[in-house]
């Protein structure tokens, strides 16, 4: 394909304009900063205090994942309430009250209202709710796009913890299992972290037991909380699940151990009970032992080794002599 001299000149001028625009844009952007290691280690940086100890700090990126119907929203609301009141929830504690914005993209407004009413009122204004179900027709958010991110940032104000419930309903476009479709959302969350805003993203779990879509979503996380029903779960149990920390930077020892949580509603108020998973196993071993099950049968039913069943029985016998080892 040949070009006339006029076309070639036009093409060269266009290239010069593009180059000039790129250079001008580069001049307007702040330069990248680097530090000598001894200078960096001597700098006084803002400490990362706890919003909810030990799982969420200031500037944290966290994800709460579970299969549908397990109890993600109940836990997310409990976290929001504890953070806003400086209270406690499950095995976690908020040292001081924080400003929280809860964005719900899935639940009918009346249902969300009902769940919030199970908790004590937050009259300080620290807990703000943005329910998409109560927006005007035609108003939507697609947080995978820059314009929606900017609209939400415009109302953040003093927000210290942003809870997004959930990714599936608050983003659209791009294939769920493609890393590239996540890039814009990840960049936005990293930008929020630089501002000191912590983000808790609620995610549906796929059939494989992991958060749906690309695993790239987990790369920048400080904390990944997963909920799952216990092996002996029955639908009559309601909101009863195990809590596991799949990823938790800086969380060690007892604080990192999984536990079981159960919700009961009494007189319209949410009442949570928490058990160490070892206690749950011990209860099951005790029940089956009293029912006459052998060590082999107990181990097979609970997915434990026979030696572990023996250890649990020995511990229970020391506490309650009537518990016999079989």
Residue-level pLDDT at 172: 81
Dist. CA 302–CA 83, nearest whole Å: 36
Dist. CA 278–CA 257, nearest whole Å: 10
pLDDT digits (tens, 9 = 90+) for 159-170: 999 999 989 899
CA-to-CA dists, residue 1 to 4, 6, 107, 317, angstroms: 10, 15, 59, 91
Residue-level pLDDT at 89: 97
Residue-level pLDDT at 183: 84
Determine contact, residues 187/78, Cβ cutoff 8 Å.
no
Of 87, 91, 93, nearest to 127 by C-alpha is 87
Q: At what angle do helices 72-85 and 109-117 cross, to 10 degrees?
A: 50
Instruction: Name the phi and psi angles at 174, rounded to 5.
Output: 80, 155
Among left, alpha and beta (phi > 0; psi -120 to 50; other), residue 16 is alpha
Dist. CA 253–CA 174, nearest whole Å: 39
Determine contact, residues 67/210, Cβ cutoff 8 Å.
no
Residue-level pLDDT at 8: 46
- With tokens 């964005």, the residue in question is 103
Of 256, 260, 255, 254, nearest to 272 by C-alpha is 260
Contacts of 270 (CB under 8 A, 6+ apart): 74, 78, 118, 119, 263, 264
Residue-level pLDDT at 15: 44
Determine contact, residues 113/87, Cβ cutoff 8 Å.
no
Determine contact, residues 248/55, Cβ cutoff 8 Å.
yes
Residue-level pLDDT at 34: 94
Q: What is the pLDDT along the chain (326 residues), one digit of tens a residue?
A: 555 655 544 654 554 444 545 555 556 888 999 999 999 999 999 888 999 999 999 999 999 999 989 999 999 999 999 999 999 999 999 999 999 999 999 999 999 999 999 999 999 999 999 999 999 999 999 999 999 999 999 999 999 999 999 898 999 865 654 556 578 889 999 999 999 999 999 998 866 555 655 566 677 899 999 999 988 899 999 999 999 998 888 888 888 889 999 999 999 999 999 998 877 777 778 888 888 888 888 888 877 888 888 888 887 776 665 444 44
Contacts of 83 (CB under 8 A, 6+ apart): 51, 52, 56, 94, 97, 98, 100, 160, 161
Dihedral sign of CA atoms 228, 234, 239, 240 in order? negative
Residue-level pLDDT at 7: 55
Residue-level pLDDT at 199: 97
Determine contact, residues 62/15, Cβ cutoff 8 Å.
no
Dist. CA 179–CA 280, nearest whole Å: 38
Q: What Rg, from alpha-carbon coordinates, does the chain have? A: 26
Secondary-structure breakdown of the chain: helix, strand, coil percentages, each rounded to the nearest 5: 40, 20, 40
Determine contact, residues 81/127, Cβ cutoff 8 Å.
yes
Dist. CA 192–CA 199, nearest whole Å: 8
- With tokens 């329910």, the residue in question is 131
């Amino acid at each position: 394909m040949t070009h006339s001299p006029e076309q070639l000149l036009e093409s060269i001028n266009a290239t010069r304009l593009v180059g000039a625009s790129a250079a001008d844009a580069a001049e307007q952007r702040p330069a990248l900063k680097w530090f000598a290691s001894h200078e960096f280690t001597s700098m006084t940086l803002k400490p990362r205090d706890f919003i909810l100890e030990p799982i969420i700090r200031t500037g944290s990126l966290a994800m709460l994942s579970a299969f549908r119907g397990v109890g993600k929203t109940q836990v997310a609301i409990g976290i929001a309430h504890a953070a806003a009141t400086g209270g406690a929830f499950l095995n976690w504690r908020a040292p001081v009250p924080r400003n929280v914005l809860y964005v719900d993209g899935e639940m009918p407004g009346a249902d969300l209202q009902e769940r919030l009413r199970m908790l004590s009122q937050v009259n300080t204004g620290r807990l703000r709710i943005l329910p998409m179900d109560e927006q005007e027709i035609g108003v939507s958010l697609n947080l995978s796009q820059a314009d929606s991110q900017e609209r939400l940032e415009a109302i953040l104000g003093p927000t210290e913890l942003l809870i997004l419930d959930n990714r599936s309903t608050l983003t659209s476009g791009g294939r769920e299992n493609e890393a590239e479709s996540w890039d814009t959302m990840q960049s936005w969350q990293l930008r929020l972290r630089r501002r000191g805003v912590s983000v808790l993203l609620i995610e549906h779990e796929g059939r494989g037991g992991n958060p749906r879509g690309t695993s790239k979503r987990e790369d920048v996380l400080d904390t990944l909380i997963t909920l799952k029903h216990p092996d002996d779960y029955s639908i009559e149990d309601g909101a009863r699940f195990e809590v596991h920390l799949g990823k938790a930077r800086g969380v060690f020892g007892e604080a990192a151990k999984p536990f079981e949580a159960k919700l009961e509603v009494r007189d319209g108020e949410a009442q949570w009970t928490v058990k160490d998973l070892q206690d749950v196993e011990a209860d099951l071993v005790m029940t089956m032992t009293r029912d006459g099950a052998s060590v082999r049968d107990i181990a097979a039913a609970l997915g434990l080794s026979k030696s572990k069943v023996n250890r649990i029985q020995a511990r229970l016998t020391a506490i309650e002599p009537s518990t016999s080892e079989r």
